[in-house]
Amino acid sequence: MQSLLSYIVSIEDTVKNEFYPLTESRLNWRKTPSSWSVLECIEHLNRYSSYYNHELRKSLDNAKTKGYPVEHPKSTWLGSKFIQMMHPDNIKKQKTLKRMDPANSALDKSVVKKFLQYQEELRHIIQDTQTINLNKSYVPVEFMKLLKMNLGDALTFVIVHEQRHISQAKNILNMNIPIAEPSLII
Amino acid sequence: MTTWQEKLSSIFNSKVKLGDDELRDFLAKWKHSVKVKRNDFLIQKGQTESSLFYVTDGRMRIFYPHKEEEICVGFAYDHNLICSYPSFILNKPSDYYIQALSETNLMAINRSDFYGLFDQYLNIERAWRMLEEEALLGKIEREVEMLTFTPEERYNRLMERSPHIFQIIPRKYIASYLRMTPETLSRIRPS
C-alpha cells in the first residue's frame, strides 16, 4: 500500500508542477481533431475518480473486517486481468466508454484542481484501508457492474489507470513544444 | 575553439552542419570584439549598421522612437545574433536604437565579409537563410498576437516562449514590448 501512496504522490507532483503552470491554450492543444488534450486526459480520470472514490469509500465503510488487516493482499485472476489491461506498460489502445470520453469539450484549469482533490481523497482512502482485510471487500467494476474486484485490486487498477493517462498527457505536451525563441533578433 | 566560437558555431550548425573548412573561414571573419556599457548604444538612429553581432554576454533592447515613446520591438541576451536588420540588409541609416541594459560583450562580423562567405560557401548562406526564416516566423506570430490577443493572452504567450524574461529584462520594457501600460502588466503579473 505504501508503494500505491508513493505512486499517487508522484502523479500529483507531475500534475501540479508540470501541467498546472501551463496556459490553458497549451493544456487544450490536441494533435488531431479526434485526439485528447491534456485537460481531456485529466477530465477522463476525474470521471473515473468520481465513481471509484465513492465506491471505494462505501466498500471501506461497510467492511466487516475492521481491525483485521491482511499482510499480503491477494490479486484475483479477474483483478489482475483488469490491472494488466490498464497498465501504462501495455501499449495496446483501449476503447473508452462514451460516458467516460470527454473529447472535444471546452475545459479549463478547474479540471486540474478537481483532479488534485480526488487524489487527496484517494490517499485518505488508502490510509483507511490499512485496518481492513482488502481481500474480503469488493467494488463493482465501472464498466461491468456485475463483476467485482477486491479492494486491493481496485486500488491498484485505479492507480495504474491514472499512470496510463498521465503518461499520455506528458506525451501530448512533448508533441507540442512551443516554437523556440529565434537565435537571430531583428 | 574558444567558448564563444563553439556557441556561435552551434547556432549555424543547428541549421546546416558546416564542414571544417567552412567553419574555420567563418569563425576567422568574426574579428572584432565590442563592449557596450550599460545604457550605451550599439547603434543609434541615423547610423548605418555595417556589422552583424553575436552577444557573448549581456542584455540589450531594440527600440523604435515614436513621439515621446520608445517602443521595444525585441530583446537580445547571451547567445543571440543581433543587428539593426533593415539597416544591415539595405545598407541605409537605421530607424532603430539598440541599447545595452547591462554591460554587454559582443563579437562582430563585417557586412562585406559576411556576404563574401556566401559567395564561397553555399552552406553558410543556407544556414543564414534558415535563421532568417526562424526570425521571420517569430515576427509573423507576434504580429497576429498583437492584432488578435488580449493583454492577458499576449502575456501568457510570452511566458510560454520566454519564461525567464522577467529575470533578465526590466518590467517597463516588457510592458512596452507587449504593447500595454506598466499598470496593466502589474495587474496581470503582480511584482
- Residue in A closest to B158 by C-alpha: A181
Mean pLDDT over all residues of chain B?
94
Q: B12 touching A, CB under 8 A?
A: no
Q: Of chain B residues 152-191, which have a CB less than 8 A from chain A?
A: 153, 156-157, 159-162
ipTM given for this complex: 0.90
Q: What is the DSSP letter of B135?
A: H
- φ/ψ (deg, to 5) at B82: -150, 145
Query: Are the beta carbons of A24 and B159 closer than 8 angstroms?
Result: no
Write the DSSP assignment of chain A as a string of letters.
-HHHHHHHHHHHHIIIIIITTS-HHHHT--SSTTSPPHHHHHHHHHHHHHHHHHHHHHHHHT-S-TT---SS----HHHHHHHHHH-TT--S--PPPGGG--TT----THHHHHHHHHHHHHHHHHHHGGGS-GGG-EEEETTEEEEEEEHHHHHHHHHHHHHHHHHHHHHHHHH-PPPPPPSEE-
The pLDDT of residue A89 is 87
- Of the candidates A5, A17, A3, the residue with the CA atom closest to the CA atom of residue A166: A17
Chain A residues at the B interface, defined by Cβ less than 8 Å, are: 22-23, 25-26, 178-179, 181-186
Residues of A in Cβ contact (< 8 Å) with B139 = 186
- Residue in A closest to B134 by C-alpha: A182
Single-letter code of the amino acid located at B81: L
Given an 8 Å threshold on Cβ–Cβ distance, is B160 in contact with A22? yes
For residue B47, is it within any domain? Answer: yes
User: Which position has the grid cell 481491525?
Assistant: A67
The pLDDT of residue B67 is 93
Q: CATH number of the domain at A2-175, please?
A: 1.20.120.450
Give B136 to chain A, closest Cα distance, Å: 9
User: The CATH number of the domain where B112 resides is what?
Assistant: 2.60.120.10
Residue B28 has pLDDT above 80, yes or no: yes
Residues of B in Cβ contact (< 8 Å) with A186 = 74, 82-83, 85, 135, 139
| Domain of residue B111, residue span | 3-117
Question: What is the tally of helices (H) and strands (E) in chain B?
Answer: 9, 8
Report the predicted TM-score, pTM, of the whole model to 2 decimal places: 0.60
- Residue in A closest to B15 by C-alpha: A183
Q: Average pLDDT for residues B98-118, to the nearest whole number? A: 97
**Which residues of chain A are modeled with pLDDT < 50?**
none
Give B68 to chain A, closest Cα distance, Å: 23
CB atoms within 10 A of CB A65: 14
Given an 8 Å threshold on Cβ–Cβ distance, is B159 in contact with A23? yes
Q: pLDDT tens across B133-172, in order? A: 999 999 998 999 999 999 998 998 888 788 778 888 999 9
- Measured CA to CA, the distance from residue B59 to residue B77 in angstroms comes to 4
CB atoms within 10 A of CB B59: 21
What's the N-to-C CA distance of chain A in angstroms?
57
For residue B36, is it within any domain? Answer: yes
The pLDDT of residue A66 is 81
- Which of B13, B139, B161 to substitute to test the interface with A, most A CBs within 10 Å? B161
The pLDDT of residue B182 is 94
Half-sphere exposure of B119 (CA within 13 A, CB side): 5
Query: Are the beta carbons of B58 and B68 closer than 8 angstroms?
Result: no
Cell of B57: 554576454
The Cα angle at residue B15 between residues B11 and B20, in degrees rounded to 5 = 75
Q: What percent of chain B has pLDDT over 70?
A: 99
Q: B81 touching A, CB under 8 A?
A: yes
Q: B132 touching A, CB under 8 A?
A: yes
The pLDDT of residue A9 is 95
For residue B63, is it within any domain? Answer: yes
Domain boundaries of chain A, sorted by first residue: 2-175
The Cα angle at residue B144 between residues B141 and B146, in degrees rounded to 5 = 110
Give A162 to chain B, closest Cα distance, Å: 27
Given an 8 Å threshold on Cβ–Cβ distance, is A182 in contact with B82? no
The pLDDT of residue A180 is 67
Nearest beta carbon to residue B161 from set A25, A178, A186: A178
Given an 8 Å threshold on Cβ–Cβ distance, is B162 in contact with A183? no
Give B21 to chain A, closest Cα distance, Å: 23
Give B131 to chain A, closest Cα distance, Å: 6
The pLDDT of residue B2 is 85
Instruction: For residue B14, give the 3-state DSSP assignment.
Output: coil
Q: What are the strands of the beta sheet with B41-43, ordered from one edge?
A: B41-43, B97-100, B59-66, B69-77
Cell of A59: 466498500
Split into its structural domains, chain B has a count of 1
Cell of B88: 544591415
For residue B165, is it within any domain? Answer: no
Contacts with A77 (C-beta within 8 Å, 6 or more apart), sequence order: none
Residues of B in Cβ contact (< 8 Å) with A17 = none
For residue B35, is it within any domain? Answer: yes
For residue B50, is it within any domain? Answer: yes
For residue B156, is it within any domain? Answer: no
For residue B178, is it within any domain? Answer: no
Cell of A133: 482485510
